[in-house]
Structure 1
Amino acid sequence: MITAHLLVFVTVAEKKNFSRAAEALSLTQPAISQQIQSLEDYYSTKLFERTSKRVELTRAGELLLPYAKEILNLSAVAKGALDDLVGKVTGKLTIGATFTIGEYILPLVLAQYTRTYPDVEVSVLIANTEEIGEKALNHSIDIGLVEGRLVHRNLTLTPLMEDEMVLFAPADHPLVGQSVTADVLSQERYILREPGSGTRMIAEEVLAELGVHPTKVFSMGSTQSIKEAVEAGMGLAILSKWCIRKELQYGTLAQLSPAGFRFPRPLSVLVRSGHFQTKAVEEFAALVRAFPAAYNAS
């Protein structure tokens, strides 16, 4: 089939190497060469310039590449539509998720989804909200789960559930259970993500809203390292409540509660506006929407 040949063509174009393309497609190198030759015969033009180290697209190959990708995408969509017609849930599902959702919420949803629909090939991309939006727009993902603000006329964001940023300390910290003020909190050390991190920016927003102006701040490159540093007594931190739910449950960390303060933020489902959704995507979206109620009931 022409689509099989086009898949080989796109893979070689992306890998720039016949051996790596053969490995990616679980084919032999002679089979790859034969399919490229057949495609060049079909189009009556040379598609690659071959050297001893790599292959490069010719002008004709560069022209064909976007069409080949679109044909492969339409073929996948057509198969999904026919599967939907007969009630099958198969195919591929590519999910984009921001860090908190991807690391602490998505695994809970996917555990149920993959049990229910074992024939769906699932892949996950973890990135920040803007990158997830870009991936949705360029068709690199089917659906996104984001925790940030994003506005684009070709994207639809639907609120999923409310998250909350919390200030926390080691369980034996003297401020636990106390009524804390901005002046008292300003004297504490804080452990935040590295400058430029979205989580760092949100934590700084929380501190500003609290009226806290810390003079001692440590920077760390991951959520896990922050939690362990707080448990070790290095200072206080601010993260999503999802990130520390197990530690709160087991009593190794404790939430501090300045009087009357909350910092909620929405978690949302993101899709391309007006884009056809396969049954695999629809069923995942339905499961995600049902997750808050199912989780709270458990």
Structure 2
Amino acid sequence: MITAHLLVFVTVAEKKNFSRAAEALSLTQPAISQQIQSLEDYYGTKLFERTSKRVELTHAGEVLLPYAKEILNVSAVAKGALDDLVGKVTGKLTIGATFTIGEYILPLMLAEYTKKFPDVEVSVLIANTEEIGEKALDHSIDVGLVEGRLLHRNLHLTPLMEDEMVLFAPAGHRLVGLAVTREQLSNEPFILREPGSGTRVIAEEVLDELGVHPAKVFSMGSTQSIKEAVEAGMGLAILSKWCIRRELQFGTLAQVTPKGFRFTRPLHVLERSGHFQTKAVEEFLHLVLAFPTVQLTY
């Protein structure tokens, strides 16, 4: 079937290696080579330039790739429609999520989704908002859950929820329980993500709105390292409340509350406009957009 050959073609294009594509598809490398050769014979042109270490798409291959992905998607939609006739939800679901959502929120959603639809093969890609948008446009993911906003005529954003950004300190810190002032915060060291991080940008926006200019700033390369540093007493930090909800619950971290201040950012569902949706995708979107608020309480 042509769809089987196109699946091999797309996998090789993504892996840039015949042996890794063979491993991903549970096929032998000769079988992969044979199917690519058959596809090249069918279209009458070379689709890959082969070297000893990797393969690269030719211009013809680059032209074919988005069509191949769309054909595979339509084929999955057709199968989903037939499965729907007998009440089955099957197939694959590929989700792109930004870091806070992918690490702290999406697992709660997937726990319910996979319980309801155990026959769906789910995979998750975690990246920044811009990368998720690119993956949606090139058909690499079915749906995205993002923290930032993207303006593109071929992408559609649907509001998901408001995410509260919180200022926090180690348990027992002298500012915990007080309606702290700008002056008090300006005297404290802060621990932020590295420059260029989206989380760093949001934290700096919070500090700007507070009118706070920290006495000292430490940069850390991950959310976990920030939490560990705060627990060790290095300073204060600003993260999504989702990221620290367990630490708040267990009392190892504590929220610091500037007087009369609350900062939120919107989270969105991202879809490619005009994209054919499988039943698996439809059910995931329905669950996410109607997810019970009580289960998202932190």
* TM-score of the aligned structures, taking structure 1 as reference length: 0.89
Distance in 1, matches of 2:274 and 2:55, equals 38
Tell me the alpha carbon deviations over residues 164-192 of structure 1, each in whole angstroms, 9 at most, x when there is no partner: 11111111111111221111110001001
* SS at structure 1 position matched to 2:258: coil
1:18–1:142 distance in 2 versus 1, CA, 3 Å:
closer
Residue 290 of structure 2 is matched in structure 1 by 290
* SS at structure 2 position matched to 1:254: strand
Distance in 2, matches of 1:258 and 1:117, equals 44
Distance in 2, matches of 1:186 and 1:51, equals 57
What is the deviation of 1:11?
Answer: 3.4
What is the deviation of 1:265?
Answer: 1.4
Residue 175 of structure 1 is matched in structure 2 by 175
Tell me the alpha carbon deviations over residues 106-145 of structure 1, each in whole angstroms, 9 at most, x when there is no partner: 0111111112111111111111222222222222211111
Residue 161 of structure 2 is matched in structure 1 by 161
Tell me the alpha carbon deviations over residues 46-92 of structure 1, each in whole angstroms, 9 at most, x when there is no partner: 65666666656667656655543443233223222322343321111
What is the deviation of 1:226?
Answer: 0.5
Residue 8 of structure 1 is matched in structure 2 by 8
* SS at structure 2 position matched to 1:81: helix
Distance in 2, matches of 1:137 and 1:47, equals 21
Tell me the alpha carbon deviations over residues 179-218 of structure 1, each in whole angstroms, 9 at most, x when there is no partner: 2111111000100111111111111111111111112110
Residue 30 of structure 1 is matched in structure 2 by 30
Distance in 1, matches of 2:62 and 2:185, equals 59
1:4-83 pair list within 5 angstroms: 4-43=4-43, 64-83=64-83
1:70-109 pair list within 5 angstroms: 70-109=70-109
Percent identity of equivalent pairs: 86
Distance in 1, matches of 2:161 and 2:186, equals 31
1:121–1:261 distance in 2 versus 1, CA, 3 Å:
same
1:212–1:144 distance in 2 versus 1, CA, 3 Å:
same
Distance in 2, matches of 1:261 and 1:270, equals 29
- 1:150 equivalenced with 2:150 (yes/no): yes
* TM-score of the aligned structures, taking structure 2 as reference length: 0.89
1:250-265 pair list within 5 angstroms: 250-265=250-265
Q: Who wins on radius of gyration, i.e. which is larger? A: 1
The number of equivalent residue pairs is 298
1:11–1:238 distance in 2 versus 1, CA, 3 Å:
closer
Contact 2:191–2:235, Cα closer than 8 Å, also in 1: yes
Gap runs ≥5 in structure 2:
none
Tell me the alpha carbon deviations over residues 214-270 of structure 1, each in whole angstroms, 9 at most, x when there is no partner: 121100001111111111111100111111111111111111111100001122212
What is the deviation of 1:154?
Answer: 2.6
1:106–1:49 distance in 2 versus 1, CA, 3 Å:
closer
* SS at structure 2 position matched to 1:257: strand
Instruction: Give the letter aligned to residue 199 of structure 1.
Output: T
Instruction: Give the letter aligned to residue 2 of structure 1.
Output: I
What is the deviation of 1:279?
Answer: 1.2
Contact 1:157–1:271, Cα closer than 8 Å, also in 2: yes
1:180–1:122 distance in 2 versus 1, CA, 3 Å:
same
